[in-house]
Amino acid sequence: MLIKSNIRRITRRPNHIPFILCLLAILCVRCANPTMPVWHEEPHAPPAGLAYDYRLRLPTMHPDSLSVTLTVRGQASTPISLVLPFVYADNPVDSMTGPIVPEFSVSDADGNEVHTFIETRWIGPAQSKILTVPAGLSYPLTLTYRPKVNRVKNLDGDSSLPSVFLTEREGFLLGSHLFAVPYESTLPALWRTRRTIKLTVELGENISIAGVPIGTTYYSNAYALLFVQPSFDTELLTTGNGGGLSYEFHSFSGYRPPSQILQRTANDFAVILDSLIPIYGALGGMQTYPVFFRNEWGGLEGTHSFTCFYPDFRSRGIVAMVLAHELIHDAVGIQCGDYDDPWWKEGVTNYLGWASATRLGLAEKEECYEDLIGIYDSSIFVARYAPSSRALRYNIFTDGVAVAYGKGAQIAMCMDLAVRRATGNTRRLDETIAALCRAYEHGAFTQNQMVAHFRAYTGADIAPILTEYADKAGAIPQTVLDSTFTTLDSLGAFGQKSMKKHRYLERIPPGEWIKR
């Protein structure tokens, strides 16, 4: 109705008639010319039988030499859709100054160009570019493009390096900024649907890489592919061993921490590995596991590696907590997810990171108490969002850090106490969560399935905890938190060292040191 009235209003003016005739002529040409498609398809999730072969090429250390080729093998009787590389890894914490994939080509098995339809759609909280190819094509299909990774900027704006970058000297990239993945209408399905995915990395002579295996690697879902962290020509700071695993510390831009802090951090990481590898299993399928130190606040888990802020930026306890936190993410998040989860991955990992660092004597109990209980209790957003609410997923880094990381960790603390009480302190939350992740490895579970697992594995009923605290907005009463922390401490959850008289530590804004 509006369109018709607008045309009628325009055509009353004679000087618009040539414009209208020209527009109609263009439309007629488009409809008659098969090389100018005008079809529109709703996005289609690809069928289960397709295989996705990715080839990442970097022949020279230059942003313009980076390219990705995706070959889709199999056969589809319907259109299929892919989500183009997007600025979205774990949560929408990055902003984009321009399209990452401004140009691409698609061809069929005979080398013929395939015309596609592109539209922007929301998948969860992220706006994404959806590419759809028509049915009736001869497979395999080949999609080729050059990601413009340097157009991606860090949202904070105060970092000397963007979240991803590639220069003639070095580079740090993320799978979410590199790879087009099969479309699904929801975020959990996009991440966790079983796929046959192969990644091959090809590098020019004298280019070194860490954060992804050299050669060919196979993945079971898009989540694992999106969380790879290929890093090029990094500076190797030190190496070590722990938990039967070799590890490497890497940095960028010539950064090297004071030798005493570097050695202490390496020793602490070895202690963490010795403790946690037997619980959660080997990391990332790597013989040598890399950790990247970045000039950014926080850490970011990866499929074969993780990042951490410079170890001389914060106290020993906070550094140890982040190292443990990101290591635990290999199971809690990378290997396994929660379909209902805006909070589980970060809340559980935040609590277990602090509990592990404190139990191992790498962090002070006062520091642990202050972060788990003292920082988040007054946040206005705790009163606004329930941890399990969909709204939190859409606002997690604008409003919800205190809810996901803070209240989420408090919920995990209550779950730990429930497990210890039900088992006579013979089992802990970390062991229970590790068993849960193994049971749903390469997939995800629902909240009801998590409740059932806790009952079967420990006899603990965590449903009342989730109903009261995860499914409702509002702070957990201070008396409950203090009692829970004190009881857990008496059971050895935070190690044997006595807690000093409570003291207030430096108040750091929630999420400042650990944003992902």
Write out the chain's pLDDT in tens, 516 residues: 332 233 222 223 345 444 443 444 434 433 333 333 445 668 889 998 999 999 999 999 999 999 999 999 999 999 999 999 865 444 433 444 456 888 899 999 999 999 999 988 888 777 788 999 999 999 999 999 999 888 765 544 444 445 789 999 999 999 988 999 999 998 889 999 999 999 999 999 999 999 998 889 999 999 999 999 999 999 999 999 999 999 999 999 889 999 999 999 999 999 999 999 999 998 877 779 999 999 877 899 999 999 999 998 889 999 999 999 999 999 999 999 998 888 999 999 999 999 999 999 999 999 999 999 876 555 788 999 999 998 888 777 777 888 999 999 999 999 999 999 999 999 999 999 999 999 999 999 999 999 999 999 999 999 999 999 999 999 999 999 999 999 999 999 999 877 665 443 343 343 433 333
Query: Are residue 454 and residue 333 in the same domain, yes or no?
Result: yes
Domain boundary residue, one of 232, 259, 280? 232
Largest CA distance in the chain: 89
Instruction: Report the SS3 class of residue 483.
Output: helix
Query: Are residue 27 and residue 93 in the same domain, yes or no?
Result: no
Residue 355: φ, ψ to 5°:
-60, -40
Query: Are residue 289 and residue 221 in the same domain, yes or no?
Result: no
**Residue 498, in any domain of the structure:** no
CA–CA dist 515, 401 (Å, integer) = 8
Query: Are residue 218 and residue 276 in the same domain, yes or no?
Result: no
Domain that holds residue 25: 2-32
Query: Are residue 218 and residue 271 in the same domain, yes or no?
Result: no
Instruction: Report the SS3 class of residue 19.
Output: helix
Query: Are residue 262 and residue 332 in the same domain, yes or no?
Result: yes
Q: With left for phi above 0 and alpha for psi between -120 and 50, is residue 424 left, alpha or beta?
A: left
Query: Are residue 169 and residue 287 in the same domain, yes or no?
Result: no
Strand segments, DSSP code E, in 295-360 are: 299-301, 306-309, 336-338
Nearest alpha-carbon partner for 56 in 228, 300, 192: 228
